[in-house]
Chain A
Amino acid sequence: MNISFKLNGKSVSAEVSPHQPLRDILRSQFDLTGVKVGCHSGRCGVCSILLDGKVVKSCLLMAPKVNNHSITTIEGLATKDNLHPVQQAFKDNFALQCGYCTPGFIMATVDYVSSSPTYPPDRDEIKSAIKGNVCRCTGYEKIISAVSSSITPS
């Protein structure tokens, strides 16, 4: 079946099978390899993207579901000259080592900081907001610092 949707601000269409996860369409048909492949089962969060601004795991998102909706991947965050503020915060706080989980964490953080989080930042609330993402290198401290520094008073 054919689906049409907004992808990082542009109108696109794709031929998909009902059982295909959107992750595979984004990687194979649109070359958006910032959408990573991890556990295939919704546990690791490396394939996180935004569906109409809300973070979801694209390995569990049936491709036909995005028909007429809007998708943002890590590739859609930065402008030509500037990183997205959350990307900049991860860079400034050195909140990555191998970097494989980073796109997923950033997408989860973008959704979280746009949903009126507690200010001053609440550590438990941050941990709850990023618990769908797994990092095997950093030990999370620097990631929590990056998320924390992304939160501004609403």
Chain B
Amino acid sequence: MSHYNLQSYHSPSDLKSALQLLNNTEESIKIVAGGQSVMLLLRQGFLSPDAFLDVSCIPELSGVSLDKNKISIGAATTYSSLELSKELQSYSILLDALHVIADPQIRNLGTIGGALGHADPSLDIVPPLLCLDSKITLKSLNNTRTISLLDFHKEYMTADLSKDELIHSITFDHVTKNQGGAYEKVSNVEGGWPTVGVAAQVELNSESDVLLNVKIALAAVGDTAIRSNSMEKNLIGSEISIDSIKEASELVSQDIDPIDDLSGSAKYKSHLAGVLSQRALRKAIQRAGGNL
């Protein structure tokens, strides 16, 4: 494996040391958390950094914390600790996705921040986070900025992350009791990447018969994960019915841009996007207490 030219592996135990390293060096540094995607990219020859910065030993970057209004997840928190997190047990939209990400081995190492930095449009965790209007906090030695996840993923496999920045945390507001969410996915193999994945989060009125708010996001049907504004606009304010869900799902093709590949044709993926949108919406509405 002579094409590798790796000089060093940094594994600091505090955030400041990590940020100093990113700030001072002329080297090309690849930030690594669980390493589950990095190892694949290395093996395929897509990466040849001068050094690695392993952020998995920085306690500040791991864990889930709550305050009055929001939930904050440290970037280096593994998928399996999120699955077990007490704070997330009422977020069925996230739990649905966490249970179908790859397999237990990958989830024991793979992290939420690593996924978001990787910016693959097929990641299962991104559509649920988009439906929760997640924000992402980025830190460099001299600056902290918070942007929406929707803006963070700029284009295919490209995140809005400067060389001196790392992903610190992901935050979203608490859900209220008349909300419900779900994630539905079809994959060619058990534990595989989604052919299409759809997340839906809904909020019902107090009589549980009208959709006050609807968020729908899809994976694997474009350069980034996508929010379906057409479906959302069509459904907000409407009475709950199987027919209205079906009618709205026909609009999804306006918002997505799938390609033909080994997982399926663009036509098939458009069809799947509609079917999975209906399933996710129905489940989300039922979980919010609506009758269907």
Contacts and interface: CB of A to CB of B under 8 A. Distances in A.
Interface of A: 1, 17-19, 21, 40-42, 45, 48, 51, 54-57, 59-62, 64-65, 67, 108, 111-112, 127-129, 131-133
B9 A41 contact: no
B54 to A, nearest CB: 7
Given A128-B99, A131-B191, A132-B191, A51 B39 contact: no
B54 A64 contact: yes
Given A60-B35, A65-B35, A19 B105 contact: no
B11 interface: yes
Contacts of B42: 19
Given A40-B43, A133-B103, 5 more contacts: A19-B1, A60-B36, A62-B52, A132-B105, A132-B106
A45 B103 CA distance: 10
Interface of B: 1, 4, 6, 8-9, 11, 32, 35-36, 38-40, 42-43, 51-52, 54, 56, 80, 99, 102-106, 108-109, 190-191
B27 to A, nearest CB: 13
Contact of B103 (A19, A51, A64, A132): A132
A18 B9 contact: yes
B106 A62 contact: no
Given A60-B36, A62-B39, A19 B6 contact: yes
A127 B104 CA distance: 11
Contacts of A55: 104-105, 108
Contacts of B43: 40-41
Contacts of B191: 131-132
A94 B188 CA distance: 29
Contacts of A133: 103
B99 A56 contact: no
A17 B4 contact: yes
A60 B39 contact: yes
A108 B14 CA distance: 32
B9 A108 contact: no
B105 A45 contact: yes
B105 A64 contact: no
22 contacts: A1-B8, A1-B9, A17-B6, A18-B8, A42-B40, A54-B80, A54-B108, A55-B105, A55-B108, A56-B108, A56-B109, A60-B39, A61-B35, A61-B39, A62-B39, A62-B54, A65-B56, A108-B105, A111-B104, A129-B104, A131-B104, A133-B103
